[in-house]
Amino acid sequence: MEFRQSVYDNAKQITDGCMGYEEAFCTAACPMHTDVKKYIRQIGEGNVEGAMETIREKLFLPNTLGRICAHPCEAACRRESEFGQPLSVAALKRYAAEKADEKTSWDTTTGEDTGKSVAVIGAGPAGAQAAIDLRKAGHRAVIYDKLNVVGGMMRVGIPEYRLPREVIDFEYSYLEDLGVEFKMGVEIGKDITFTDLRAQHDAVIVANGAHKGGVPPVKGKEAQGVTNACDFLKEVSLTRQSETAGKRIAVVGGGDVAMDCARSAWRIGAEEVSLLTLESFDELPASKEEIHESMEEDVRFLNSWGTDEIIADETGRVQTIRLKKVLSVFDENGKFAPQFGEETMEIEADTVIFATGQQVEDVTGGLIEQKGGGRYVTNPETLATSEDDVFVAGDASGGYIVVEAMALGKKAAKSADRFLNQQELEEGRNFKYEYSFVTNLDVPLPKGTENLPRQSGNHRAAEERKHDFRPYDLGYTDEQAKQEASRCLQCECKLCMEECLMMNDYGECPQDIFGQFLQDGEIEPIVPYSCNVCGGCTHVCPNDYPIGETFMAMRKDFILHNDGKSPMEGHKAIEMHQKLGFSKVFTTKVKGGK
Amino acid sequence: MTASKKGFMPGCSLPSYTPEGVQKTMEYLKEIYPDLGGVQKCCGKGTKALGQEEKFKERFDGLQQDMDDIGIDTMIVACQNCYKTINETSETTKAESLWTLLPKIGLPEEVRGKAKDSDVIFAVHDSCSTRYEREMQDGIRWILRELGYRVEESENSFENARCCGFGGMIVPANPDLANRVMQRRADDFESDYVVVYCAACRASLSKVGKKAFHILDLLWGPVVHRDDDAPEDVLSKPAQAWINRYKSKRVVKKVVKA
């Protein structure tokens, strides 16, 4: 049956704009789209097992991410934008993992064997995620890594006081459970050529990370005691010491890697640790937590200083660093273009660690083109390269943080799977959901929302923790976790569904009901005839959508197509009532006055 | 400029519920407006709610004719649906709510403060159809205060009003849902005693166990004390309701002609 145009127009407006299914801020911001809201609710309800199940639907590294994720979810959290006190999402994830992650409940099913084999270069988060997804799709997955340990940068970049190595090993045992094969200590380009690797497999995913640190062209950089963050952190990670480092360590850089270097410096026995940053304190790119914890550990922050010259002593060892004052770091277009003033100062140091960026080393023998930072040139949506059978993921394709690397691994695996199945790489894919996005959710704060402070974790005292590699953060107690979880606002727009009982009988939000109507081109009369037309839905709808009005318009068309009568059996009585209400017996008109 | 010519129209559910209330209201209005006219007819809201556009137009035209025949330019109404329907449909006649009029003309001396010793605290059920008519909602509180009753507000007062369950003609279409809506509305109120200003809303809330009073019950009837029962749910008894409607029609005639 045909409805009037306004019905279709309104239904389309509601279906397109209804925010009932819009992701919460946290879930949209997470590149893996972990159902944050759900597992936090479950933790709050004391259902930690359930929470763990929710987390594992998306993440194979819950404990790892719970400790070291740069948590874009927290930056996007409504409590961050409103009060600057985001939910401690990562810490809650770690809590759930420590409490309830049982190997016995891991889903180790894999797809039916396809007979295809994929080489994955790199055992970091991108390569691991790609290998998992390939196994789930039934392909053979073989991870090659030049290190003898799994984890990639998580293992040799992130210090172990933040991420205990047994956590990585435990969580990576999932890959073994899935039948992922490992060829460790094998360097592509040296132990086996890229060409041979391609020949042995049906596809290759390059996820070798950005492990090459550099030292900028500073005068005196050849002095002994000058190194880069990658080499330093790798050595400390593998040996808990550094051949290069002395006792007075200066770290150059203002990001999280620089903080890791500075804090690691204490742990290998430094007596003085300075952090030299171009940025002013307020501009530091490092996370608030890392800055705070570094300061607790007495790292000396020298902000707005650039390295002018490294001066060596007579043995060739770093002795002094001359610094020049930074006037500004970025130009008016926000581009990195530091400007320096005349002022200089000198500090004493025997070690300089440059934490100023890292590069991807080529493993393809020049086959795949590289751009800035050594990142491979790819189609950013599919991570496909100039070679049909080669895909790239993780740092090598331009991710920055672990959870992004995982999402890129997933993306590359999906493309590789399509390639192996001779399918179109792009067709029917919702690329928006393959990475972080900004949700369209726009709702008022729930009634009575208060600014409740974030639960701080249980950190060991700085003076104690800075001398060893044991975890500095002991995690939440049960009570703290519950308390923190209870702060979650469970962001969603189901405002009309809280008001309207009727719509709940026919869907989860107006998008269901009107979307179905548009799809089917028809609707059961009971639906529009169950609307009270009370206006409560529109009253609370952030977009004021004319929901009741549209049901009302549908009724008019039902009448037109039913000889002027309501299609509802029960309405016969109403029609009789109305008839009587207009009949002579019950009506009158009386003129007043004389 | 001539003074506006006012009439009173009790509507459908109110005259079916309380001919006495209609009579006392009209008598009082007539004291203030000696030339008061009267129309008893349905505004057609029910027809409109079913979606019967043509029939509604025809029926409303009949009402318009009646109003025009007796020279009314302002129709005083005690039903929020009549208020909306007339104001949305008529190009010449304005509907004026009794609940905004009474604060302007005042209450009769003999009722003012009569309930100051009542131990009942009334919750107010606002009509969803006029959720944005704040002056009307305030008028109801004004009347209650003038009478001496104490009032409790809920989160779903005023513009956040929820349907009583009767709206949109869903009772005959989906009775199970209608019952749930009624119960939900009842649960919005802490007090067992609820005052309404629509007779259909009163019937809905009565059905789910609330002691629901129409504001006119409080205005013209005995003072309500704790443990007093609310008037019975006449609208659930069609025969009784139609007899009342007939009585009300005679009241309209009688009062205007008096």
**pLDDT for res B3:** 60
Phi-psi category of B106—alpha, beta or left, where left has phi over 0 and alpha has psi -120 to 50?
left
Closest partner CB to A588 (pick from B30, B33, B252):
B252
Residue A532 CA from chain centroid, whole number: 42
Give tens-digit pLDDT for A91-137: 999 999 999 999 999 999 999 999 999 999 999 999 999 999 999 99
Q: How far apart are CA B117 and CA B106, in angstroms?
A: 21
Residues of B within 8 A of A585 (CB-CB) are 246
DSSP classification of residue A35: -
How many other β-carbons are positioned within 10 Å of the β-carbon of residue A374?
A: 16
Residue A23 is given by DSSP the state P
The series of mean pLDDT values per 10 residues for chain A, 594 residues long, is: 96 97 97 98 98 98 97 97 97 98 97 98 98 98 98 97 98 98 97 98 98 95 97 97 96 97 98 97 93 97 97 97 96 92 97 96 97 96 98 94 98 98 97 96 95 92 96 96 97 96 97 97 97 96 97 97 95 89 94 85
**Contact B53/A556, CB-based, under 8 Å?**
yes
Give A548's contacts in chain B (Cβ within 8 Å). Answer: 168
Eight-class DSSP state of A453: P
Q: B45: nearest CA in chain A?
A: A578
Residue of B12, B50, B85 for testing the chain A interface, max A β-carbons within 10 Å: B50
What is the CATH code for A213-356?
A: 3.50.50.60
From the CA of A483, how many Å to the nearest CA of chain B?
27
| B146 Cα to chain A: minimum distance (Å) | 29
Q: What is the pLDDT of residue B208?
A: 96
Per the listing, tokens 């308390």 go with: A483
Q: What does the alpha-carbon distance between residue B204 and residue B218 come to, in Å, rounded to a whole number? A: 18
Distance from CA of A439 to the nearest CA of B (A): 28
pLDDT tens, residue by residue, B159-214:
999 999 998 999 999 999 999 999 999 999 999 999 999 999 999 999 999 999 99
Beta strands in B128-199 (DSSP E): 150-152, 193-196
SS3 label, residue A63 = helix
* Whether residue B1 has pLDDT greater than 60: no
Q: How far apart are the first and last CA of chain B?
A: 27
- Counted across chains A and B, CB pairs separated by less than 8 A come out at 163
| Residue located via tokens 């979307």 | A515
Residues of B in Cβ contact (< 8 Å) with A580: 242
CB hemisphere CA count around A445 (13 angstroms) = 14
Q: Distance, in angstroms, between B123 CA and closest chain A CA?
A: 19
Q: Which of A532, A564, A574 sits opposite B163 (nearest CB)?
A: A532
Looking at residue A236, what is its pLDDT? 98
Is B42 close to A582, i.e. CB distance below 8 A?
A: yes
Distance, in angstroms, between A485 CA and closest chain B CA?
26
Are A591 and B41 an interchain contact pair (Cβ–Cβ within 8 Å)?
A: no
Output the CATH code of domain A25-105+443-485. Answer: 1.10.1060.10
Residues in chain A closer than 8 A to B172 (CB atoms): 568, 570-571, 573-574
Residue A201's closest CA among A144, A278, A275? A144
Pairing of strands B121-125, B94-97: unpaired
Rg (CA), chain A: 30
Rounded to 5°, the CA angle B19-B22-B25 comes to 150
Minimal CA–CA distance to A31: which of A579, A349, A437, A540?
A437
pLDDT tens-digit map of B75-117: 999 999 999 999 999 999 999 999 999 999 999 999 999 999 9
Please indicate whether the domains covering A117-211+360-434 and A213-356 agree at the CATH topology level.
Answer: yes
Taking the alpha carbons at both ends of chain A, their separation in whole angstroms is 55
Which chain B residue has its CA at the smallest distance from A568's CA?
B173
Report the alpha-carbon distance of residue A17 to residue A10 in Å, rounded.
10
* Number of Cβ atoms within 10 Å of the Cβ of A386: 12
* Pick from A564, A574, A585: CB nearest B172: A574
| Average pLDDT for chain B | 96
| Whole-number Å distance between alpha carbons of B82 and B95 | 8
- SS3 for B204? helix
pLDDT tens-place string over residues A299-308: 999 999 999 9
CA-based nearest residue in chain B for residue A552: B51
Q: With helix as H, strand as E and coil as C, how does A330-375 read?
A: ECCCCCEEEEEEEEEEEEECCEEEECCCEECCCCCCCCCCECHHHC
- Interface-testing mutation among A554, A580, A589, with chain B (most B C-beta atoms within 10 A): A589
Which of A43, A42, A33, A129 is CA-nearest to residue A76? A33
What is the per-residue DSSP string for B10-79? --SHHHHH-HHHHHHHHHHHHHH-TT-EEEE---SHHHHHHT-HHHHHHHHHHHHHHHHHTT-SEEEES-
Select from A501, A577, A593 the Cβ nearest to the Cβ of B181. Answer: A501
Q: Which two tokens stand for residue B107?
A: 């209450």
Please give the residue of chain B at the shortest CA–CA distance from A583: B41
* Main-chain dihedrals φ then ψ at residue B195, nearest 5 degrees: -105, 135
A562-593 core/surface letters (b: 16 or more CB in 10 A; e: else): eeeebbbeebeebbebbebbbeeebbbbbbbe
ipTM: 0.95
Residues of B in Cβ contact (< 8 Å) with A536: 128, 161-163
HSE-up (13 A, CA, CB side) for residue A68 = 27
Q: Give Cα B193 to chain centroid, integer Å.
A: 17
Nearest CA in chain B to A564: B52
A574 contacts in B (CB within 8 Å)? Answer: 46, 50, 169, 172
What domains does chain B contain, in order, with CATH numbers? 6-104+238-257 (3.40.50), 111-233 (3.40.50)
Q: In this structure, which CATH number among 3.90.1150.10, 3.40.50.300, 3.50.50.60, 3.40.50.1820 belongs to the domain A117-211+360-434? A: 3.50.50.60
> Domain coordinates of chain A in residue numbers?
5-17+493-581, 25-105+443-485, 117-211+360-434, 213-356
Phi-psi region of B151 (alpha: psi -120 to 50; beta: other; left: phi over 0): beta
Smallest CA–CA distance, residue A542 to chain B, in Å, is 14
CB pair distance less than 8 Å for B184 and A501: yes
Q: Do B168 and A586 touch (CB under 8 A)?
A: no
Helix, strand and coil percent figures for chain A, each rounded to 5: 40, 15, 45
Judge: B50–A588 Cβ closer than 8 Å, yes or no: no
Q: Choose among A530, A585, A588: nearest Cβ to B173.
A: A530
Partners of B38 on chain A (C-beta within 8 Å) are 588-590, 592
d(CA A425, CA A416): 8
